[in-house]
């Protein structure tokens, strides 16, 4: 059964992202950026059905790579093609994106590293690589501690603390936004635990079920959560 309130929440989140990228009072802008990306990670975690993949880690990684990383590369290449055609066909002599101002080797490096600032011609794609790493982190924790919520929360908290400390004391950004994923997994895990407790509290036969095949749509819907892709947690 599709949960309409989840769709409504995603719609509200998308609207807030769009508003935040327009001229708003600084206080309101800061407030929106303080929670809109954690909000999307929370929803992604809520929609993830761990029991569906509990039996096969390899199957989980393969499926998530197909649904998140393959689209990442497809959209990166399509964006490059679009700007290449724009530059050569309609604006000769004008370079619209920094990607074409650098060497081909650097271009390949920036695509493979997958940071938002490096993929400047389509920054929102940072979310896909970050969500992929986030889901791998959570799966690793859940594989061992899903039946022990207390220990799972402890490991999620430790990851969040590590992510915060890394953002404060380390300047080097990790590939695929793995440093951000350390903080994001806290919100992702919170969403999934909320799902778990919601299911446990539902009455038998109530028909309460969730559609988990929405990671890509949620990720692409975020447009550009530029503040969260800066080092560390949102703020």
Residue 132 has a pLDDT of: 98
The helix/strand/coil state of 126 is helix
Length of the chain: 235
pTM for the full predicted model: 0.81
Digit-coded pLDDT (tens) for 94-134: 666 666 677 878 888 999 999 988 888 888 899 999 999 99
- What value, to the nearest 5°, has the Cα angle with vertex 12 and ends 8 and 15? 135
Q: Once rounded to an integer, what is the mean pLDDT over residues 139-148?
A: 96
Tell me the pLDDT of the chain averaged across its residues. 83
CA nearest to 176, candidates 84, 64, 39, 42: 64
One DSSP character per residue, 19-77 reads HHTS---HHHHHHHHTTHHHHHHHHHHHT--HHHHTT-HHHHHHHHIIIIIHHHHHHHH
Report the Cα–Cα distance between both ends of the chain, in Å, rounded.
Answer: 35
Q: According to the model, what pLDDT value does residue 70 have?
A: 98
Per domain, the residue ranges of the chain are 4-54+123-221
Give the separation between CA 89 and CA 94, rounded to whole angstroms: 10
pLDDT in tens, 185-205: 999 999 999 999 888 765 554
CA 72 to chain centre: 12
Run of H or E residues at 201: helix 178-201
């Amino acid at each position: 059964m599709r949960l309409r309130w989840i769709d409504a929440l995603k719609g509200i989140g998308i609207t807030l992202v769009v508003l935040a990228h327009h001229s708003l009072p600084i206080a309101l802008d800061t407030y929106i950026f303080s929670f809109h990306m954690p909000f999307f990670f929370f929803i992604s975690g809520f929609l993830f059905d761990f029991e569906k993949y509990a039996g096969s880690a390899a199957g989980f990684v393969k499926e998530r790579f197909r649904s998140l990383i393959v689209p990442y590369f497809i959209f990166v290449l399509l964006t490059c093609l679009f700007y290449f055609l724009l530059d050569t066909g309609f604006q000769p002599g004008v370079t619209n994106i920094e990607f074409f101002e650098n060497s081909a080797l650097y271009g390949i490096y920036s695509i493979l590293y997958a940071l938002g600032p490096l993929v400047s011609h389509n920054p929102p794609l940072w979310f896909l690589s970050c969500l992929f790493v986030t889901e791998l982190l959570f799966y690793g924790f859940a594989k061992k501690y899903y039946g022990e919520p207390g220990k799972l929360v402890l490991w999620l908290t430790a990851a969040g603390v590590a992510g915060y400390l890394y953002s404060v004391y380390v300047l080097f950004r990790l590939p695929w936004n793995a440093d951000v994923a350390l903080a994001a997994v806290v919100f992702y895990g919170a969403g999934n635990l909320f799902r778990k407790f919601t299911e446990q509290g539902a009455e038998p036969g109530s028909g309460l079920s969730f559609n988990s095949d929405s990671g890509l749509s949620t990720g692409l819907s975020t447009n550009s959560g530029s503040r969260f892709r800066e080092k560390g947690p949102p703020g």
